[in-house]
Amino acid sequence: MQIRFDKLGVVIAAIVAYAAFAAPFATFRANRIVPGQARSILEALPTATGTLLLAIIVAAALVALFRTPLVLRLVASVVVLAALALLIGAAGTFLTPAGNTLARVSPASGFWILIFAFTLLLADVLTRLNLSPLARVGVLVVAALAIGLLLISGSWDNLSILKEYANRADSFWAEGSKHVTLALGSLAAAVIVGLPLGILCHRVERLHAGVLNVLNIIQTIPSIALFGLLIAPLGWVATHVPGAAALGIRGIGTAPAFVALFLYSLLPVVANTVVGLAGVPRAANDAARGMGMTDRQRLFGVEFPLAFPVILTGIRIVLVQNIGLATIAALIGGGGFGVFVFQGVGQTAMDLVLLGAVPTVALAFAAAIVLDAVIEMTATKRRVETA
Amino acid sequence: MIEIEGITKRYDSTTVVDDVSMVIEPRTVCVIVGTSGSGKTTLLRMINRLVEPTAGVIKLDGADNRSLPGYELRRSIGYAIQGHGLFPHRTVAQNIATVPVLLGWDKARIKARVDELMTLYQLDPDAFGPRYPHELSGGQQQRVGVARALAAEPNVLLMDEPFGALDPIIRNKAQEDLLAIQKRFGTTIILVTHDMEEAVHMGDKIAVMDAGKLVQYAKPAEILANPASAFVGTLVGASERPFRLLSLGRVRDAVEDGSAEGEAISGDASQRDALAELLWSGRPALPVKGADGKPLGRVTVDGLVKRAARPA
Ligand SMILES: Nc1ncnc2c1ncn2[C@@H]1O[C@H](COP(=O)(O)OP(=O)(O)O)[C@@H](O)[C@H]1O
Ligand SMILES: [Mg+2]
């Protein structure tokens, strides 16, 4: 039998070799703000466990390197990812001196690169398996449950990021819910305003260029500058419109963050609505009128369903963008996970930065997978073909 | 009856349809023929008011077509658009049910009508009903398009180049099917085409359009025999004229007494097909049989050639 290399596998194996043998697996610090010391896999874990982990990694890298059956590749990537997840917790316990509450252990570059490499392998396998949209969401749920179990089990409790969490458990969930509210709320507002605006732009030729240009310009304003621009008008509204202040409208805080995210969201929603409606086959529109549909019936019965997958694509862009952008709401006192990021930057405490960044990335990632699945399902159900 | 009186459509300064007047008798097929851009589609779409005329009146059974809101008018007139215009996001059954749903028919009645039409068009309702248009062949899509136009049992059916995208064999079949259905339901059909062959074959009357004007409106034989202008003559095609004339007649009408050798031709076949068969086989005569298979007599080359001559 001829031995053949897998193209992506070669890259993965090279990355893994570097990460496992040359890069640090974990970082140890005497307290949360001093510079850390690197620890390799063998230094970060009891000898037997460390050797076992290395053996698993090498074996999996070999599976990746050669052309092997998909199932084997799937098992290899899942086993390594599970082992890494469990053992980084073990490294925390192993490296922290007993009774020392100040020492901090965090995952280092080697760990992150290994996670990246084997996630790449897993993603490749899942793509090649050609999973249905529902199955992909299923994989996401299983992964989320596994991470949830690890968190509850306490096996990560000795990692620095969870120590930061332990100190801020209450505010973590409060800021988290503020973050999600900001991202989803501004999305909802953008959809409520953007859909009709997009329909209007589609119907009224003269509005088209003007509206899209204005939204384009807004999109290019840096977020900090946009916050600055909003302070004055919102401050004015707060002092001059009765009841506005009671609603929480102020120059700084949640209101300008919400308004900024809303403004950024408008362009993708409006533009995709316009593009989606423009892409409705002429013949379908013509037939709808010829069959005796009123304008409303045509909009809801023909144009909208046919444009829906494209509009959803816009909503997906907005949701992922908003989950990320909501981080900067913290800059003007708007709350959200950004609070930890900016506190962490201020205190040069990387762990605190991660406490804000990791959940943000995870949320964005999950949102992308779920919406991609929804888009694919609606697109296959209402396939758009003009032929 | 459809009365078109002095209908004109102008876009800015260009006149697309220019003072057209014609009367279409009920339960007949009227074919509008002309070169591309001559205003056929625009004229057709003014009947169901997808296009509003600049001047003139169109009456359907005596009533001005503006006496109803446009969408209500269109629900009462069948419309098969160029291509097929099926809704890609709706199944075949849902597509056909479009107008009945708009009219608020009850579910059972809609289902019965959809099944009836699909059966009529040789599409098994259980197999094809739940499919999406892109899962059908071009010929099937076209049939669904016509079935959709017929769904609410309209008295009038407008068709814009309905067979344009079909290959010749399927096209022939589709034309025959349409004529059969027209006879069965007594629908008044106005059909647009740029193909004179199709016009002669399908039309009880042919309306020839040129640059927005109606240049001749007459029975096919009359158009072939006496084209009103050089343009109509070109459209008819000088070298095709005798054969088109023959294609209008049935073999049964050209039967002579006597008998002939060889395979008999059906009395329902066109005289053109009979002449082609005679020329091709090099024989002077062919036996003719009736629908029941009984011999009717024979057709001869000489007899057909006389019929192909310009009528006096
Ligand atoms: N909405 C419109 N605006 C301007 N010109 C039009 C419009 N619709 C049709 N026309 C013009 O009218 C002429 C006739 O068009 P049409 O009725 O579609 O011709 P046909 O169906 O015979 O090919 C063409 O020159 C076309 O460009
Ligand atoms: Mg046309």
At A387, the pLDDT band (50, 70, 90 cuts) reads: very low
Q: Judge if the beta carbon of residue B212 lies within 6 A of ligand 1.
A: no
Q: Does B75 touch chain A (CB under 8 A)?
A: yes
Q: What is d(CA A208, CA A202) in angstroms, rounded to the nearest whole number?
A: 7
Backbone torsions φ then ψ of A292, nearest 5 degrees: 95, 25
Backbone torsions φ then ψ of A246, nearest 5 degrees: -60, -30
In A, which residues are within 8 Å of B88 by CB distance?
281, 284, 306, 382-386
Q: What is d(CA B15, CA A270) in angstroms, rounded to the nearest whole number?
A: 38
Compute CA A191 distance to the chain's CA centroid, rounded to the nearest angstrom: 20
Ligand nearest the Cα of residue B44 is 1
User: What is the average per-residue pLDDT within A332-338?
Assistant: 87
pLDDT of residue A322: 92
In A, which residues are within 8 Å of B76 by CB distance?
292
Query: Per residue in A253-266, pLDDT tens?
Result: 788 888 889 988 99
Q: Does B217 touch chain A (CB under 8 A)?
A: no
Number of Cβ within 10 Å of residue B260's Cβ equals: 19
Q: What is d(CA A282, CA B84) in angstroms, rounded to the nearest whole number?
A: 11
Question: A1-10, A74-83, A350-359, B123-132: which has the minimum mean pLDDT?
Answer: A1-10
Q: Does B102 touch chain A (CB under 8 A)?
A: yes
Compute CA B3 distance to the chain's CA centroid, rounded to the nearest angstrom: 19
Query: Per residue in B15-73, pLDDT tens?
Result: 999 999 999 999 999 999 999 999 999 999 999 999 999 999 999 999 999 999 999 99
- The answer on pLDDT for B214 being more than 50 is yes
Select from A362, A263, A373, A361 the least CA-distant residue to A316: A373
Distance from the alpha carbon of residue A361 to the mean position of ligand 2, in angstroms: 54
Query: Would the CB atoms of A292 and B134 count as touching at under 8 Å?
Result: no
Query: Per residue in A109-153, pLDDT tens?
Result: 999 999 999 999 999 998 898 888 889 899 999 999 999 999 998
Name the closest residue on chain A to residue B83, using Cα atoms: A283
In B, which residues are within 8 Å of A385 by CB distance?
88, 133-134
Q: Judge if the beta carbon of residue B11 lies within 6 A of ligand 1.
A: yes
DSSP 8-state symbol, B7 = E
Which residues are B265's β-sheet partners?
B288
SS3 B106: coil
Closest ligand 1 atom to Cα of B51: 1
Query: Would the CB atoms of A383 and B89 count as touching at under 8 Å?
Result: yes
pLDDT of residue A384: 44
In B, which residues are within 8 Å of A290 by CB distance?
48, 50, 74, 79, 81, 85
Q: Judge if the beta carbon of residue B81 lies within 6 A of ligand 1.
A: no
Measured between CA atoms, how close is A139 to chain B, in angstroms? 29
- The answer on pLDDT for B240 being more than 70 is yes
Q: Does B252 touch chain A (CB under 8 A)?
A: no
Query: Would the CB atoms of B85 and A382 count as touching at under 8 Å?
Result: no
Measured between CA atoms, how close is A377 to chain B, in angstroms? 13
Q: What is d(CA A327, CA A53) in angstroms, rounded to the nearest whole number?
A: 36
Q: Does A300 touch chain B (CB under 8 A)?
A: no
pTM listed for this prediction: 0.78
pLDDT of residue A298: 95
Q: Does A294 touch chain B (CB under 8 A)?
A: yes
ipTM confidence: 0.83
Ligand nearest the Cα of residue B83 is 2
- The answer on pLDDT for B311 being more than 80 is no
HEC sequence for B120-158: HCCCCHHHHCCCCHHHCCHHHHHHHHHHHHHCCCCCEEE
Nearest CB to B79; choose among A281, A290, A302: A290
Distance from the alpha carbon of residue B4 to the mean position of ligand 1, in angstroms: 19
Residue to mutate among A291, A306, A382, with most B CBs inside 10 A, is A291
Q: Judge if the beta carbon of residue B227 lies within 6 A of ligand 1.
A: no
The whole-chain average pLDDT of chain A stands at 88
DSSP H or E stretch at residue B77: strand B77-80
User: Residue A208: which residues within 8 A CB-CB, separation 6 or more?
Assistant: A201, A202, A274
Number of Cβ within 10 Å of residue A78's Cβ equals: 18
Ligand nearest the Cα of residue B209 is 1
User: What is the average per-residue pLDDT within B145-163?
Assistant: 93
Name the closest residue on chain B to residue A286, using Cα atoms: B85
Q: Count of residues for chain B?
A: 312
SS3 B186: coil
Measured between CA atoms, how close is B47 to chain A, in angstroms? 11
Select from B102, B221, B79 the least CA-distant residue to B156: B79
Report the CATH number of the A169-386 domain. 1.10.3720.10
Q: What is d(CA A2, CA A62) in angstroms, rounded to the nearest whole number?
A: 16
User: Residue A149: which residues within 8 A CB-CB, separation 6 or more?
Assistant: none
Q: Does A205 touch chain B (CB under 8 A)?
A: no
Structural domain boundaries in chain A: 7-130, 169-386
Nearest CB to B74; choose among A290, A385, A386: A290
- The answer on pLDDT for A61 being more than 90 is yes
Q: Which two tokens stand for residue A299?
A: 């909009």
Q: Does A292 touch chain B (CB under 8 A)?
A: yes
Measured between CA atoms, how close is A386 to chain B, in angstroms? 7
At A1, the pLDDT band (50, 70, 90 cuts) reads: low
Question: Considering Cα of B74, then B76, then B77, then B82, what sign does the dihedral take?
Answer: positive
Residue to mutate among B47, B50, B52, B87, with most A CBs inside 10 A, is B87
CB B240 within 8 A of CB B198: no
